[in-house]
Structure 1
Amino acid sequence: MFLESDMKLSCLIVDDEPLARAGIRHLLNQQNQFEIAAEADNGTDALRLAELHQPDIIFLDIQMPGLDGLNVFKQLANKPAVIFCSAYAEHAVAAFELSAVDYLLKPFSAERFQQALFKACGKIIDKLNRGSSKPAETPSYIDRLTIRDPGRLRIVEVNDISWIESAGNYIDIHVYSQRKSYLLRDTMAAIEKKLDPALFARIHRSSIVRKSDIVELRPGDKGDAEVILKCGTVLTMSRRNRNALADLFGHLA
């Protein structure tokens, strides 16, 4: 299962080989989460059908009559999740430079196909999380995060997050309602920009906390402080970030 919802993703299959299209069609038809919007055997038709159907995912061959797959990708008005499918490995670097989701080298296994679909779903959900439909002048903050676990995508509601701490190349997201934490490959600086500052505060270079979960603040003698949460967790607020909670406790001296 790719998505923990009833959401269906539309797909466009582009390949000049009928057997290649049939193989992808067969693999997609085995999954309820995907529907085939159209198929094309050349680049010109691919562009026309992409504009007409606005697919979520395009399976795109490289070498085709007329317009090749790389140029099709470059000319797409709206960039969906693109998975290149080719018998030639030498185009992989160029494909990834164009921000392709994946590059399947023919012949590929059903398992390898599943991995590519998983990546495509992740990109689609991340795009939805960015909330691009809000007016440009209004800050856009996420209301959920997508955690990639082996074999599935887990949706974590921002309303369930108590605090976040740095964990090397990951961030550790502590979910108070379940007494659990989840690792997400992201940076503290990036996640801070995605969260509403009215709800969360960066109190240390390695921690972000939900303001409503704070029950006590214990100032230290060096301008720092201990932040105590409802669950009993004690976090450190650095001197540099001491004004992050000014709306709750006033400006610390």
Structure 2
Amino acid sequence: MAIDGFKVLIIDDEQPARQLVRLYLKDFNEIEIAGECTNGFDAMKMIKDISPDLIFLDIQMPKVNGLELLEVLEKRPQVIFTTAYDEFAIKAFELNAVDYLLKPFSKERFDSAVKKAMERVGNNSETIQVPVEKIRENTPGLLSRIVVKKGSGMEVIPVNEIIFLEAQEDYVMIYTAKGRFMKNQTMSYYESHLNESSFVRIHRSYIVNISKISRIEPYDKDSYVAVVNPDHKLRISRSGYKKLREQLGI
């Protein structure tokens, strides 16, 4: 199906990888390369400005990786992942990505992926709308940062800057000295992905950074609150108090 003004954006921190995609796209006269980005910050702004039909997206990039970028996009274009790592392949297809090209990929493999993307756009097929956060729930390993949406851009929060997290229905509110930010993830996710020596789930509604607790005060006869600042006194459950005492060695 012929498509007018099919725009693509190349997002990769490695120049040779971007050059290869450009070279391979020369055979597609109907495609306009609308731009290149080397990081997720620039990519987010450019995606908003030019509304590409398709992005070639590397996953492992500094500052903000490909999956973190997708988390904060309000409207997502079609995506072809281009990466040297295969551990994200299943997640890519769970996200309804067009394809997952493992570097180094051949011209034939590339052409097949692009034709598939053009067919999707021509047929007005659904773009990636599966919540990326939910796909990442089962990703192992501890978090060192959390990427959140801030206005029309994004903010990268090192986990050591988190004061506490609060459950809010299907979302989690993250409190920092810079403000509070909402994420579409679960408390269970953060409980299992934050270092337990630094973060303790003191209540079903709260996970607190131990280093941010200024004091622990009695709430009533058998319960306590953790004071993290004058505006926030966090209830501590009995099980949370036990875990907190263990981590504090008291």
TM-score (norm 1): 0.52
| Counterpart residue number, 1:175 | 176
Distance in 1 (alpha carbons) for counterparts of 2:225 and 2:85: 51
Show the 5 A alignment for 1:1-253: 7-8=13-14, 10=17, 18-19=27-28, 23=31, 26-27=33-34, 30-33=35-38, 56=58, 78=86, 98-103=93-98, 105-107=120-122, 140-149=141-150, 151-176=152-177, 178=178, 180-221=179-220, 223-246=222-245, 247-248=247-248, 250=250
Unaligned runs of at least 5 residues, structure 1: 1-5, 35-54, 58-72, 83-95, 133-139
Which has the greater radius of gyration? 1
Matched to 2:228, the amino acid is: L
Q: CA deviation at 1:224?
A: 2.1
| Counterpart residue number, 1:65 | none
Q: CA deviation at 1:7?
A: 3.9
Q: CA deviation at 1:220?
A: 3.8
Structure 1, 97-106 or 193-202: larger mean CA deviation: 97-106
Distance in 1 (alpha carbons) for counterparts of 2:235 and 2:158: 25
Distance in 2 (alpha carbons) for counterparts of 1:190 and 1:80: 18
Partner-residue secondary structure (3-state), 1:241: helix
Unaligned runs of at least 5 residues, structure 2: 1-11, 40-56, 60-80, 99-116
Matched to 1:78, the amino acid is: D
Matched to 2:244, the amino acid is: L
Distance in 2 (alpha carbons) for counterparts of 1:108 and 1:189: 39
Distance in 1 (alpha carbons) for counterparts of 2:97 and 2:152: 17
Q: CA deviation at 1:81?
A: 6.6
Distance in 2 (alpha carbons) for counterparts of 1:216 and 1:100: 44
More relative contact order, 1 or 2 (CA 8 Å, 6+ apart): 2
- Shift in alpha-carbon separation, 1:148–1:220, aligned structure 2, 3 A: closer
Partner-residue secondary structure (3-state), 1:227: strand
Matched to 1:32, the amino acid is: C
The answer as to whether partners of 2:25 and 2:31 remain within 8 angstroms in 1 is no
TM-score (norm 2): 0.53
Q: What root-mean-square deviation, in Å, do the aligned CA atoms of Structure 1 and Structure 2 show?
A: 4.4
Distance in 1 (alpha carbons) for counterparts of 2:215 and 2:231: 10
Report the count of equivalent residues: 170
Distance in 2 (alpha carbons) for counterparts of 1:78 and 1:8: 17
Distance in 2 (alpha carbons) for counterparts of 1:33 and 1:106: 25
Matched to 1:159, the amino acid is: N
- Shift in alpha-carbon separation, 1:248–1:232, aligned structure 2, 3 A: farther
- Shift in alpha-carbon separation, 1:100–1:220, aligned structure 2, 3 A: closer
Matched to 2:86, the amino acid is: N
Distance in 2 (alpha carbons) for counterparts of 1:156 and 1:187: 17
The answer as to whether partners of 2:13 and 2:37 remain within 8 angstroms in 1 is no
Matched to 1:98, the amino acid is: F
